[in-house]
A and B are shown apart, each in its own frame.
Chain A
Amino acid sequence: MKKTRTLLAALSVSLLASTSAFAGDVRIMWYSDGVEGDVIQDLLNRFMKDNPDIHVTLDNVAYKVIQEQLPIQLEAGQGPDIARVTNIKELAQHWLDLRPLVADPKYWDDNFGDTLDWMRPDGSKAITGFMTQLTLTGGFANKTLFEQAGVALPGDKATWDDWVNAAAEVAKSQQLPAAFAIDRSGHRISGANVSYGANYIGPDGKPAKVDDGTKAFVGKLVDWTAKGLMLKDTWVSAAGSTYRAAADDFINAQIPFYYSGSWQVANLSTKIGDSFDWVATGSPCGTAGCSGVKGGAALVAIKYTKNPKDVAKVMDYLAREDIVKEFSERTLFLPAHKGVITKGGLKWGSADKNVGPALDKFVKAAGETLPAADALPPWKWANAYFAALVTRVSQVMAGELTLDEAWGKIDQDIADKVAEAK
């Protein structure tokens, strides 16, 4: 009996010891487009130095892991303690409400209030995290190629047609494989669709059927692809809603015009260096306006964490004004912190002469987005709409569907998704 007691006591002590070893552990799942992984690690190292009782592990993963594996982990009640995500609204039921845990909820409301709705269920007042960056879709032009071709860069109110025609001239003159490329993503073409008058959201808040605005721009896009003006590889060489960026083709000077978004600035600066000059162009115009789509990546706390208090401490630290400012300056990301934006004076951490004007252009373009585009980031069905668009439009580009068939399929895919979610 005495032996059994001793054994049980030893077991209890060892169990307690093992549990306490995990008490201060916080695991962050993180993906990077550019240098932000290194920057956040540096910031976290400073946090751990000041808070030796909390150990933060940064798991750098591919964006595909965030998109495909994290949702499954979350559905199973698993996952990291904190994650950097872009699918922020659709997965909002998995985020932890930090309101009772953070040191000063008012600070969060005051500084991140504009975007808190993007990452919490409709009607909720939870604080679930903050945007590590605000993004805006927009274009980039290879200025050197335009100059070499003797083609003037289209101006501020240039339409999509103007840009494609100018880029086509450059491509022809410089013997490039295509005039332009847009990332294979429904999100990327949505700004253009809205610029032609599209509205994805019905009066009941549910997805509306594909309208004339979407049909107008997508019709042009398919036509440009068929004519070889848009780089066929990006959209056609994959099935389903797989994401493909065309950044490498722009970096390798294979296309004079590239439509992606503000998050590419650091990537382009790092990889292009002084090989050629490039400029951000904002979003080309359609018949209704010149809109991009806002968005970004959020750092959210996961409600399945075992250490919510430690998670809140880490989040409080990373959301601090000075930390957000430093993070933005070093990563070249647009901040979502009201205080940082209002005070201004951001010293972009880049000697690249292309970077400052590019970021300024995106800041300016952020004021030109249309209401239909601004409604998309906090909309639950945005990703379903984007996915259906990519899947079916790329089938049209590959010659498998006609545009009329595609509209029906897109409506059906989205209706199925809505029905499935009931």
Chain B
Amino acid sequence: MTAVATLKTWTGAALAAPVVWLASIVNVPLKWWQRATGTGGMAAFFLAPNMAIFGIFVLVPLVINFFYSATSGTAYFLQDRTYVGLEQYQRLLDCGNYLDTATCREDLFWKAVHNTGLFVLVQVALLTVVSMITALILNREIVGRSFWRAVFFFPVLLSPVVTGLIWRWILQRQGLLNLIVHDLGGDPYNWLTDRFWAFTAAVSVSVWAHMGFYTLILLAGLQAIPRDLYEAAEMDGTKPARGFWRITLPLLMPNLLVVIVLALIRAVQIFDEVYVLTGGGPGTSTLYLTQYIYEIGFASLLRNPGLASAASILMGLVLVVLTLLQLQVGRRGERKGARE
């Protein structure tokens, strides 16, 4: 054995010594536990820390939230609140015509529901198309491909608050965009006080901030498509557009479905960047469900924690449906993969 090898062995042994010592101590109760509960008990033992964290930070708050939604009052301690059963849900769902928010008792809740629905439709469609186009371009042999991948992924790394602030500074009355418009001889415009432009900004900024992540998923799918399929199609004289519809899209469908479902869930939860960008305005035209819950639960001087809890549970139900859809899509993909 050479001197270097001996040194490596000694170093390894020295570094491992504390771990071995710790393992020997842990070994005693673990052996006892295994004898007492079998291998199933060992699985439970190793899962316990995760389950404890999940329980404390997800399950317990969820259960408490259910209790809050069945109470009224301004106090935050459950024991100081009055039990009202389903009253908060009735109040939220009390509506003459669900399509006309003015007829609803909690018109701001329904305004937020309508806004969120429209946002989800437009944002998810746009996000999917833009991510797809970007992935297709980045999958080609273009100059500086790695650089461009990093460029498109970079906004994903930004904090949503930073994203919101950057775009607010660009779009506000005295912002960068109006400076450019002014320099080009145009009249500056109040983009964030116009309902159409505020909505457009909310959607666009959200697409800009998240498309990098979805592009990456689609890119991984594109790279998994065998090149020989395209080569065979090319030899048969297939045009590129037909190749996209007949080869790329069908084979990319599992990834595309995952992208759509993930984007749907994220879009329903939209809050931070839009809250910073528009504050929910102009009026309530970019007030989305999460902001409504936040405002009514914590921020507004008219705060009502019970109503906020009930609204969050209704929103949670929508998210459960979307998550089940995602699981279904994932399983179908797995089954298809297994068959192939």
The answer, among A71, A87, A399, for a CB contact under 8 Å with B283, is A399
The answer, among B73, B111, B193, B287, for a CB contact under 8 Å with A237, is B193
The answer to whether the Cβ of B173 comes within 8 Å of any Cβ in the partner chain is: yes
- Interchain CB contact under 8 A, A239 and B76: no
The answer, among A75, A387, A398, A409, for a CB contact under 8 Å with B77, is A75
The answer to whether the Cβ of A322 comes within 8 Å of any Cβ in the partner chain is: no
- A67-89 interface mask toward B, CB cutoff 8 Å, 1 = contact, 0 = none? 11101100111000000000100
B185, chain A: closest CB distance, angstroms: 15
B119, chain A: closest CB distance, angstroms: 14
Given contacts A76-B77, A397-B283, A421-B73, contact A240 B195 (CB under 8 A): no
Question: Which of A240, A394, A420 is packed against the most chain B CB atoms within 10 Å?
Answer: A240
Question: Which B residues touch A412, using CB under 8 A?
Answer: 105
Query: A409–B107 Cα gap in the complex (Å)?
Result: 9
- Interchain CB contact under 8 A, A75 and B76: yes
The answer, among B108, B281, B298, B300, for a CB contact under 8 Å with A236, is B281
The answer, among B72, B198, B291, for a CB contact under 8 Å with A420, is B72
B287, chain A: closest CB distance, angstroms: 4
Question: Which A residues touch B193, using CB under 8 A?
Answer: 232-233, 236-237
Question: Which B residues touch A384, using CB under 8 A?
Answer: 301-302
Question: Which B residues touch A401, using CB under 8 A?
Answer: 102
- Interchain CB contact under 8 A, B283 and A236: yes
Interface residues of A in 392-422 (CB under 8 A from B): 394-395, 397-401, 405, 409, 412-413, 416-417, 420-422
- Interchain CB contact under 8 A, A239 and B284: yes
Interface residues of B in 150-166 (CB under 8 A from A): none
- Interchain CB contact under 8 A, B287 and A239: yes
The answer to whether the Cβ of A391 comes within 8 Å of any Cβ in the partner chain is: yes
- Interchain CB contact under 8 A, A232 and B190: yes
Question: Which A residues touch B76, using CB under 8 A?
Answer: 72, 75-76
Question: Which A residues touch B284, using CB under 8 A?
Answer: 239-240, 395, 398, 400
Q: Give the interface size class of chain A.
A: 35 or more
- B185-215 interface mask toward A, CB cutoff 8 Å, 1 = contact, 0 = none? 0000010110100100000000000000000
Question: Which A residues touch B107, using CB under 8 A?
Answer: 409
The answer, among A67, A75, A398, A413, for a CB contact under 8 Å with B302, is A413
Interface residues of B in 67-119 (CB under 8 A from A): 72-77, 82, 102, 105, 107-108, 111
Query: A177–B193 Cα gap in the complex (Å)?
Result: 13
- Interchain CB contact under 8 A, B282 and A237: yes
Query: A71–B302 Cα gap in the complex (Å)?
Result: 12
- Interchain CB contact under 8 A, B281 and A387: no
B285, chain A: closest CB distance, angstroms: 7
- B171-194 interface mask toward A, CB cutoff 8 Å, 1 = contact, 0 = none? 011100000000000000010110
Question: Which A residues touch B306, using CB under 8 A?
Answer: 420
Query: A71–B301 Cα gap in the complex (Å)?
Result: 10
- Interchain CB contact under 8 A, B301 and A237: no
B36, chain A: closest CB distance, angstroms: 28
Given contacts A72-B298, A398-B285, A400-B285, contact A240 B72 (CB under 8 A): no
- Interchain CB contact under 8 A, A395 and B283: yes
Query: A261–B307 Cα gap in the complex (Å)?
Result: 34
14 A-B pairs with C-beta separation under 8 A: A68-B298, A87-B301, A238-B280, A239-B284, A240-B108, A240-B295, A241-B300, A252-B174, A387-B302, A395-B284, A397-B283, A399-B283, A417-B304, A421-B74
The chain B residues found within 8 Å of chain A, CB to CB, are 72-77, 82, 102, 105, 107-108, 111, 172-174, 190, 192-193, 195, 198, 278-287, 291, 295, 298-304, 306
User: What 7 pairs between A and B have smallest CB-CB spacing?
Assistant: A398-B283, A239-B280, A238-B279, A387-B301, A75-B76, A239-B287, A400-B283
